[in-house]
Amino acid sequence: MDSSPSFIDAVAALTQDEKNTQLLKAAKAGDVDKVGVLLQAGAAIEATDRLRNTALIIAAESGHTAVVKQLLSKGANIEAVNEFFVENALILAACNGHTSVVECLLLNNANINAINQYRETALMRSVWKGHTAVLAKLIEAGADIEAATRSGHTALMLAVHENHQDAGFLLLNALSSERVEILSREPNLAPLIQSFRRTIGMAKRDMADIFMGMFSARKQKTPAVLMNPILNFIFPSWLVGRKEVKVGLKILLDKMPKAVISAAAEEPLAQAPVVVTFSGTANTADAARKRKRSDSLPAAAAEEPKEEGLSTKKHKPNGNM
């Protein structure tokens, strides 16, 4: 970005409307320097485009974390909403899978349960797109898992409708066993919950086999006092993504008492190959999905063009007004 004196002079010569327009364009491009120059020259930080998107909303939806931080430091309204769907920066960042932007907004006290005109939250929008990393952050930060849209549909219902099994597993893992039992009586949710329970059971057996194998060199059984914390520790990481299982496993092994490790096998544990597999688990989080109206649940809806770009492009909402 050109921040030379000639550029600064050129910006100073712009009208107020022109400065505001250039600020919105700079936010969309993620140009931190240009945003800084325009704000210094008097561009209105809350200026909007024709759809009432502010620079912060545009930067958040585009995934430009640095610009989001910059605008927030200058006092941008974190709860500003646009016109068509009454969505703020957090909802749009979550919808587009921008995890770092979501983290930044949450650290700056964004309303985690803010809703759009269809009463959809950031959590619901992340479920709709299958953005499990964003979903995990929102759950960890305390988002309302069982909030309902205007038409009465929850994030878990949306996960079922969009066939985002990993997102559904994350939501179920955050609920109490008592609540999961109650939800299992609902016909539309029962298949997902059955799959969740079955997968957890298989995963526990797989993990038990792994750790029993580690101790098999001396034919020593894995102490129950060690196994239970291992299983309780590993599953939240696994549900976020199977790659994290190996990371979690390494952390656990690093924390094991040296005496336990040395007694477990003749060879150093790091040299023993460890393969983590989870049978019967389908990963659908990476599949490209088309959005449907949630008021058609559970009936199938016609597929729509994939939504891309900023909120200046129309998309079909999940709930009824």
pTM value is 0.68
Any domain includes 96: no
Which two tokens mark 190?
């029962």
List the CATH number of the domain containing 72. Answer: 1.25.40.20
Any domain includes 69: yes
> Which residues, other chains included, contact 177 with Cβ-Cβ below 8 Å and sequence gap of 6+?
none
Domain count across the chain: 1
pLDDT in tens, 58-74: 999 999 999 999 999 99
Other C-beta atoms closer than 10 Å to the C-beta of 117 total 15
List average pLDDT for each run of 10 residues in the chain, which is 321 residues long.
Answer: 69 92 96 94 96 97 98 97 95 97 98 97 96 95 96 95 92 91 94 87 65 53 49 47 45 46 37 34 35 42 42 47 39
Type and span of the H or E element at 234: helix 224-240
* Structural domain span for residue 37: 8-80
pLDDT in tens, 77-114: 999 999 989 999 999 999 999 999 999 999 999 999 99
Any domain includes 265: no
Any domain includes 32: yes
Any domain includes 220: no
